Amino acid sequence: MTNQTMRIFFPLKITTYLLNDYDWDDQNPVELSSEEAVSYEDAILTAITNENHRRFENNHGLAEHIENEALNKKVYSLYPSVEVSDGKLWGVMTAGLTEALSGEETTELLEFVAGENSDGYGEVFEQRPIKTSDSIVFVSFWDNDKNYSLKTEQQLNKSLPASGYDGPVMGGI
């Protein structure tokens, strides 16, 4: 049913707490840069997969919550993930589309994703601790930072420095 995909990228806010002998040190959080967060990609992907299994009983993911009827018909599925691009860990929403979106529909989908990142899926996910070998990690799909923005894959690729490679690097899947 899906003819094409649209990928929407956004920065992540990742906070880690070191583990000690008994528990995790919640008094000393460390916010990681997107470059430092790359080493946690696999653990975060596993946590997202587990969250998706908990939350979605169909193959539509977050698309089941799109209220605009016309947009809902074109966006068949919508799933969160993370991936490395240009040495940074990014949040990604992948939309399965039945047909191309107009500019207005793309804007509406970006607004929907921003809402899910701040108040929906992202708000729940950021409260789930992700245990790694040396720390506890919390991942937020939302950051009130003035530099927070959503970008389509094409917009992201245009903003990356020319390095001879113009696409995201897949990893951890």
152 exposure class (CB count in 10 Å sphere: 0-12, 13-18, 19+):
middle
Tokens for 87, please give them: 């040495």
- Residues 160 and 166 sit within 8 Å (Cβ to Cβ): yes
CB-based contacts of 5, cutoff 8 Å, min separation 6: 94, 95, 96, 97
Say whether 52 sits in a helix, a strand or coil.
Answer: helix
Tokens for 147, please give them: 């530099």
Output Rg (C-alpha) for the chain, integer angstroms: 17
Q: What is the pLDDT of residue 165?
A: 46
Say whether 172 sits in a helix, a strand or coil.
Answer: coil
173 residues of the chain, pLDDT tens digit each = 558 999 999 999 999 998 776 677 677 889 999 999 999 999 999 999 999 999 888 889 999 999 999 999 999 999 999 999 989 999 999 999 999 999 999 999 999 999 999 988 888 999 999 998 888 999 999 987 777 889 888 888 887 665 544 444 444 43
What are φ and ψ of residue 169, in 5° steps?
A: -100, 125
State the residue for tokens 């108040």. Answer: 119
pTM of the model: 0.84
Sorted by where each begins, the domain ranges of the chain are 4-157
Question: 154 to each of 26, 143, 172, how far by Cα in Å?
Answer: 39, 22, 22
Q: What is the pLDDT of residue 103?
A: 92
Q: What is the pLDDT of residue 171?
A: 41
